């Protein structure tokens, strides 16, 4: 059974830091697997579609992306939750889309943010396997929102 963690709220210092890269020696470790499991449980408990480790007070480059169709994005694909370690955006489209965002760390505030429609991302699995994937639309938006968290940026700093 997984632990549901406290979520850092806007104003917490950890949300402003650049998170540390996960070291090779940490892949496949009990603590990294436990972190990912607790992040997923916390995301589900808060009804989120993503989460980043700094939001649970761990300043490491780990995110989860879990797109699903919803009222704002009825055509969004249903994705199984994907854990990404040390994610990097390799390419992004020039064309941007303005879309509504929320944040587990900024309750009761939503706003319109312009994000690239497509991102090509390289990340590592919990076991350290490198993966390259292209995301479009809402999943691409979640990836960009979560990587922003790893760089200490909140969506409210990107409002249009
Ligand atoms: O990182 C987070 O704070 C999670 C955040 C992810 C996100 C939402 C919307 C656009 C980009 C990124 C959330 O999940 S907040 C909850 C939320 O806005 C939402 C929940 C279910 C469906 C749609 C949005
Ligand atoms: Zn957020």
pLDDT digits (tens, 9 = 90+) for 34-70: 999 999 999 999 999 999 999 999 999 999 999 999 9
The gap between the terminal CA atoms of the chain, to the nearest Å, is 41
Ligand 1 atom nearest to 100, measured from its CA: 10
The predicted-structure confidence for 19-41, as pLDDT tens digits, reads as follows 999 999 999 999 999 999 999 99
Ligand 1 atom nearest to 46, measured from its CA: 16
Cα–Cα distance, 5 to 23 (Å, whole number): 23
Q: Which of the ligands is closest to the CA of residue 142?
A: 1
Residue 137, C-beta contacts closer than 8 angstroms, at least 6 positions apart: 73, 75, 76, 77, 97, 117
| CATH number of the domain located at residue range(s) 13-158 in this protein | 3.90.45.10
- For residue 160, name the pLDDT band (cuts at 50, 70, 90): confident
CA 77 vs CA 34, 57, 127, 135, 137: distances in Å: 27, 29, 26, 11, 9
Question: Where exactly are the structural domains of the chain?
Answer: 13-158
Distance 98 CA to ligand 2 centre (A): 17
């Amino acid at each position: 059974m997984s632990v549901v963690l406290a979520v850092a709220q806007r104003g917490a210092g950890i949300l402003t830091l650049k998170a540390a890269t996960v070291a090779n020696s940490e892949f496949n470790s009990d603590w990294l697997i436990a972190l990912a499991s607790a992040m997923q449980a916390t995301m589900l408990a808060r009804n989120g579609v993503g989460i980043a480790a700094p939001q649970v007070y761990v300043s490491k480059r780990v995110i989860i992306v879990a797109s699903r169709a919803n009222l704002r994005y009825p055509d969004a694909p249903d994705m199984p939750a994907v854990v990404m370690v040390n994610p990097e955006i390799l390419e992004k489209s020039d064309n941007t889309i303005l879309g509504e965002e929320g944040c587990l760390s900024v309750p009761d505030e939503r706003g319109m943010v312009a994000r690239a429609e497509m991102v090509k991302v390289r990340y590592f699995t919990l076991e350290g396997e490198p993966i390259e994937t292209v995301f479009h639309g809402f999943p691409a938006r979640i990836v960009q929102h979560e990587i922003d968290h790893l760089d200490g940026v909140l969506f409210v700093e990107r409002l249009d």
